[in-house]
């Protein structure tokens, strides 16, 4: 085995890129379907990868409220992505 054969292939196939694009579209659609109160919290958590305190500062609400909104949004998101 040569050195080049040991390097993993990180280029995604067109099929993988299409699946990723579709998943991103589904996630955006699911977030838009959330009750208005929960949307910015979920968007900032997933898209910007911020923690509760950081989101709270941006939205000018306590971090505990951010956590509550995020936890209340979870069942809505599960309903979209978990199939029985």
**pLDDT of res. 27:** 86
Residue 50 belongs to some domain of the structure: yes
CATH classification of the domain holding 53: 1.10.10.10
The structural domain count of the chain equals 1
- The residue segments making up the domain with residue 67 are 31-84
Average pLDDT over residues 52-81: 95
Count CA atoms within 13 Å of residue 23 on its CB side.
7
pLDDT in tens, 4-53: 677 777 787 888 889 989 988 988 899 999 999 999 999 999 989 999 99
How would you label 51-76 residue by residue, b for 16+ Cβ within 10 Å and e otherwise? ebeebbeeeebeeeebbebbeebeee
**pLDDT of res. 2:** 75
**pLDDT of res. 84:** 59
Residue 4 belongs to some domain of the structure: no
**pLDDT of res. 14:** 87
- pTM, full prediction: 0.73
Residue 52 belongs to some domain of the structure: yes
């Amino acid at each position: 085995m040569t050195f080049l054969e040991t390097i993993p292939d990180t280029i995604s196939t067109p099929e993988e890129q299409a699946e990723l694009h579709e998943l991103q579209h589904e996630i955006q659609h699911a977030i838009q379907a959330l009750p208005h109160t929960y949307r910015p919290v979920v968007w900032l958590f997933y898209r910007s990868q911020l923690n509760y305190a950081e989101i709270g500062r941006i939205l000018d609400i306590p971090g505990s409220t951010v956590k509550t909104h995020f936890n209340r949004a979870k069942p809505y998101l599960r309903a979209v992505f978990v199939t029985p």
